A and B are shown apart, each in its own frame.
Chain A
Amino acid sequence: MGRDLIFTEKEAEFLRELVRQKVDFMIVGLSAAALQGAPVVTQDIDLWFKDLDQPGIRKALKKVGGSYIPSIALNPPMFEGDSVSLFDIVVHMHGVAEFDEEKKHSIKIPLGRIKVAVLALERIIRSKEATGRDKDKRVLPVLLDVLATVGKTGGKRVSPPSVVVKAEAAQRTRGPRARR
C-alpha cells in the first residue's frame, strides 16, 4: 500500500539530504501553496535553487540514487531517478525578486524532521499573476481566497508568514478586494 502513496520516505530523503548538505533552495509553485493550506492540485514539486552548481545538490542526488541532467538545447535541466521524479528544477521565477531577496521572506515549514524553506503564498500569487498563463490565471482566485483565509486564521499548523500578515493589514486599509 505504501508504494501507491505519493511523497513517501524516498522523496523526503532527498529533501532531507538537500537540507543536510546546506543547499540553498526553496519549494515554490503550487506545491508551496499546498503546504500553506491551498486546496490545489499539482503534479510535481518545484524546487528553486539559488545556484545549480552547488556541490550539495550532486551529493544529495548521489545519496538517493538520482542524477542531474543539465540543460540541453531548449530542454531545461532536470533530475532523473525514481527518488527524484517528483521534483522539477526551477531556474527563474517570474514576477518576484531574485532568489536571495525572496528567501528572506520565505517561511520554514516542517516536513517530517526537517524544515524546508517555502516561497510565501503572497509571492506565489505575485508570480502566477506575472506569468499570465491560462492555467495560472485559473488558480488565482483559489490562491487569493487561501491568502484571505490564512491571514484570518493564522493557520493552525503553519504560522502566517509575516508578508501575509502585512499584506492583509494593507488590504484592510485599502478595503475589500473586488470580486472577480
Chain B
Amino acid sequence: MRLAVDKVKKLCAERGVSLAALLREAEVSRNAYYTLSRKPSVLPRSIRALASGLGVKPSTFLEERDSPSEDARLLIGQIDRIERFHRIHDRDNVRHTLLLLREKPIDRLRRALTRGQRPDIH
C-alpha cells in the first residue's frame, strides 16, 4: 500500500489548508512525508510478509479498528456513563460533544463558524 499523495493534496484543498500547514499541524516533517511518498509500500515488512505467505493483498486482512455499529455502541455507552454522573439536559449535546472531541480544535472552530455564517449550506 502506497501513500496516495494526490489524495492527500485533494483532501487539503477540500479543507482549505496547504500541505505545508497540514504537515506543521500534524508534526510530520517534510522529509518524512516525501520519504513515505517514495516508498513502494508504507506497510511494515511483517505485514507484507504475512500477505505474501497467504498469497493475498495486505488489504485482505487489514480492517478499521471499529466497525460503524461498534463505534455507535461505544458512543452510546459513553453517553450513558456521563448521564449516570450528571443530570444532563439533552443527550444529543453530549453525543455531539463526544464526536467533536474526536476532531482537531481548529476543525471544531471551523464547524461553529461555518454554521454561524453559512446556515444555508447545512
Q: Which residues of A does B touch, CB under 8 Å?
A: 1-9, 12, 30-31, 34-45, 86, 109-113, 141-142, 144-146, 148-150, 152-153, 155-158, 171-172, 176-180
Contacts and interface: CB of A to CB of B under 8 A. Distances in A.
Contacts of A9: 16-18, 21
B82 interface: yes
A6 B100 contact: no
B93 interface: yes
Given A31-B112, A39-B96, 13 more contacts: A2-B13, A6-B113, A35-B108, A42-B112, A43-B113, A86-B113, A110-B25, A145-B89, A152-B82, A155-B101, A157-B104, A158-B105, A177-B87
Interface stretch (B41-49, B52-60, B114-122): B114-122
Interface string B10-41: 00011111100100110000000000000000
Given A146-B93, A150-B97, A158-B105, A1 B16 contact: yes
Contact of B101 (A3, A145, A156, A176): A156
A42 B119 CA distance: 11
B65 interface: no
B7 interface: no
A34 B111 contact: yes
A148 B94 contact: yes
Interface of B: 13-18, 21, 24-25, 78, 81-82, 85-90, 93-94, 96-98, 100-106, 108-119
Nearest to A147: B86
Contacts of A155: 101
Nearest to B106: A111
Contact of B94 (A34, A42, A149, A177): A149
Given A141-B90, A148-B82, A158 B101 contact: yes
Nearest to B118: A6
A6 B15 CA distance: 10
Contacts of A41: 112, 115-116, 119
A30 B13 contact: no
